[in-house]
Amino acid sequence: MPGIFDANSEQYVADGTGKKDNIACWADVTISNVAYQKFVDKPFFESFVDTQSATEAYKRVLSDSGVSQPVQDDHDKRIVNETLTGTATYTGSVGGKQGIIDNPKDVGGLENFPTVTRSASWDADGDGIADWWDGSTGGEGYDVIEGYLNFMAEPHAFVAPASSVQIDLAVLAKGFVKPTFTVEGVALGSVVVEGDIATYISKGAGIERLTLSVDDAEGSKWSRSFGVAVFQGANDVE
């Protein structure tokens, strides 16, 4: 391979022979009478990867790390904050290392999560897909359940028709410096953004796929998806 990483995370560029003094293990392979190149000068196809700088990737990863559904717990909030500030809140009771706990008691014990219930009408037919789902797959080649699971895995909210729900935008952009927000893609209602809170006002039932855009004080930009499911009984999800 053209790029090689060793145990010290140093990268070396291979010459095709594998002969490098600072590479611990290599194989010298000779291929004769072939009508192709081992290495080519141009890519086989254009890259579809959205590549960011280290700083941009850092901001995005911190904004989308840990458990996000239904809420981010205290543990993940603490880890994200410690990463941002370069601090350690707790010290391990055994190892004595800052930031490396040895027992849940070192941080005050496990968080007490509330009980969440759903009505029997959530999935009355028992097919594993909520009855309010609109039947979309998310793209050609995918099944309906894949579209549903992808929606549930990404940040989302539930709201009944002719009602409203608030979206904490700051939580979705923790890695960004003094971010400002815009929300686009509203089709089934309306949205008002005030500071880092977006209020979605629903009208008819259905699935909204909003685009939340972030601009921060350092010139960073990012757009991410946020789903809103509008259905009767949404307020019964507790």
Instruction: Give me the pLDDT at residue 207, please.
Output: 94
Cis upstream peptide for 161 (omega within 30°): no
Residue 73: other Cβ atoms inside 10 A: 14
What values do phi and psi take at 78, rounded to 5? Answer: -65, -45
Q: Residue 25: its pLDDT value, please?
A: 61
Over residues 150-190, the pLDDT tens digits come to: 999 999 999 999 999 999 999 999 999 999 999 999 999 99
Largest CA distance in the chain: 72
Least confident window among 34-48, 127-141, 195-209? 34-48
Mean pLDDT (whole number) for 124-148: 89
**Range with the lowest mean pLDDT among 5-19, 41-55, 64-78, 164-178?**
5-19
Residue 230: is its pLDDT beyond 60? yes
Nearest to 172 by CA among 207, 215, 229, 212: 212
* Burial letters 112-136, b for 16+ CB under 10 A, else e: eeeeeeeeeeeeeeeeebbebbeee
Would strands 197-202 and 206-215 be described as parallel, antiparallel, or unpaired?
Answer: unpaired
For residue 10, the model assigns a pLDDT of 56
Share of the chain above pLDDT 90, in %: 56
For the chain, the average pLDDT equals: 86
* DSSP class per residue in 107-125: GTS---PPP----GGGGTT
Query: Domains in the chain, please, with CATH?
Result: 54-109 (no CATH), 128-237 (2.60.40.10)
Q: Cα separation of 168 and 161, whole Å?
A: 20
Q: Would you state the pLDDT for residue 50?
A: 86
Mean pLDDT computed over 28-32: 71
- Name every residue whose Cβ is closer than 8 Å to that of residue 76 and which is 6 or more positions away in sequence: 65, 66, 67
Higher-confidence residue of 203 and 22: namely 203
Run of H or E including 226: strand 221-230
3 confidence band (pLDDT: 50, 70, 90) = low
Average pLDDT, integer, range 200-224? 95
- In 2-161, at which residue ranges do the beta strands (DSSP E only) sit? 3-5, 11-13, 156-159
Q: Report the pLDDT value the prediction gives residue 11, as an integer from 0 to 100.
A: 55
pLDDT of residue 139: 77
Cα 37 from chain centroid (whole Å): 39
